Amino acid sequence: MIVCFRLFNKITEGLLVGGAVCFALSSPASAQVQSTQTVEHGPATQNVKIERGEVVYVSGRAISETESDGTVVLSAER
């Protein structure tokens, strides 16, 4: 009966020491990561040019189009 208590005490002591070691090793791993955030203030809008037109003729890579103001544009690289 005494041998059983001693064995139980050794097992319990080993488990407690093992748990303490695991806890001590895992604590540094759970440290918070510190981050910084920067905000730039400035205009929130952009100027955008919208071009509209109608395609009149296409042949291979050449294109002929009429823009919204009525001018005809011929282009070989589109």
Q: Tens digit of pLDDT for each residue in 7-55? A: 777 888 888 887 777 777 766 655 567 788 888 888 877 888 888 888 8
Question: Cα(64)–Cα(74) distance, rounded to whole angstroms?
Answer: 5
Q: Write b or e for each residue in 8-33: b if 16 or more Cβ atoms lie within 10 A of its Cβ, otherwise e.
A: eeeeeeeeeeeeeeeeeeeeeeeeee
What residue spans define the domains of the chain? Answer: 52-78
pLDDT at 78: 47
Q: Which pLDDT band holds residue 63 (cuts at 50, 70, 90)?
A: confident
| 73 phi, psi to nearest 5 deg | -115, 130
